Amino acid sequence: MKQTEEHLPLKEVRAPVKEVRAPLKEDQASLEEDRVPLQENQANLEEDQAPLKELDEWDDFVATRYRQGKSEEEFRNYKADANPTVTEFYRQNHKYQTLDFVLKKKAEYCGLNRGQKSIWEMAEYLNTLVDDSDPDTDVTQIEHLLQTAEAIRKDGHPRWFILAGFLHDLGKVLCLYGEPQWAVVGDTFPAGCAYSEQVVFPEFFAANPDSGKPEYQTQYGMYEPNCGLDNVHLSFGHDEYIYRVTEKYLPEEAQYMLRYHSFYAAHRHGAYRHLMNEHDEAMFEWVRKFNPYDLYSKGRERPNTKEILPYYQELVSEFFPDKIDW
């Protein structure tokens, strides 16, 4: 993964944002510094080097896994769609996402103490995440966000729903903070209780140290029956981070969309209902409503960023102050 200055479609059209950016110079300098540990981290991984060429490889796998028109039986044959790098990615994800790890990362990031930035600054920052992908065929991170949001807009959904589409993957900046791929993307699952067979590659959980802790391997583990997902620690990643950053500005339906969009075992396969309460059940309707836009908007034509950006600038300003805590 390398970073580049080239993928900044917002540059020309973001004059109003630019003016307020001057005080951020220092912040950005500190972000530059933050990139250094990324390489160190990865070097330390040795045999567990980042397996995906690009983060989107995981998204592409999920989209293929749930390709429209597939039967339940075909969904269960997901291994046919998983190439060796995706398989290796899941091996690492399931091995390292322990309850301790999740709690550590929540403590590190969910206090939102990495400084204030606007949504647009973070979107541009995320767009510097460019992998060894083909710029002619692969959409940028911002293009994926806009494609998702535009598909929602075309279907006439409320403004907060469109906004959720635009925001949903901004948490992938975790990757730029130096987090390994397995701590940023991947299907999420509860830590601290038995793993469901409905999570992809469940066999890889055998290597997770929590598998050796009997108190975490009962159906409920550390949780109470139907305690509600807010009391459950899902594996850490971009969902939880963007939920935390945006929660106080968005309606609850949108919060659920952001927080659980990668929790496929639950929203696609009905797993972990014993941990959900009635409110979760009701709200998951919205998570399910959101999912197809995330999965299937990629094949559409590239969004005309310049043309639609003013709409999104207004939409973001309607819900967010200029700067928020990250």
Q: Which is nearer to Fe ion, 253 or 294 (CB)?
A: 294
Residue type at position 211: S
Minimum CB distance to Fe ion, residue 171 (Å) = 8
Q: Which is nearer to Fe ion, 223 or 260 (CB)?
A: 260
Q: Which is nearer to Fe ion, 127 or 221 (CB)?
A: 127
Minimum CB distance to Fe ion, residue 209 (Å) = 26
User: Does residue 240 touch Fe ion according to CB under 5 A?
Assistant: no
User: Does residue 56 touch Fe ion according to CB under 5 A?
Assistant: no
Cβ neighbours around 68 below 10 Å, total? 8
Minimum CB distance to Fe ion, residue 135 (Å) = 19
Q: Which is nearer to Fe ion, 149 or 193 (CB)?
A: 149
Minimum CB distance to Fe ion, residue 144 (Å) = 6
- Burial class of residue 248, CB neighbours in 10 A (0-12, 13-18, 19+): exposed
User: Does residue 179 touch Fe ion according to CB under 5 A?
Assistant: no
Residue type at position 159: R
Cβ-based neighbours of 69, under 8 Å, separated by 6 or more:
none
User: Does residue 169 touch Fe ion according to CB under 5 A?
Assistant: yes
Beta bridge partners of 129: 3
Which range touches Fe ion (CB under 5 A), out of 49-57, 190-198, 263-271, 287-295?
287-295
Cβ neighbours around 145 below 10 Å, total? 24
User: Does residue 294 touch Fe ion according to CB under 5 A?
Assistant: yes
Q: Which two tokens stand for residue 275?
A: 């941990």
User: Does residue 150 touch Fe ion according to CB under 5 A?
Assistant: no
Would you list the DSSP string of 234-257?
BPPSHHHHHHHHHGGGS-HHHHHH
Cβ neighbours around 59 below 10 Å, total? 18
| Site for Fe ion, rule CB under 5 A | 169, 294
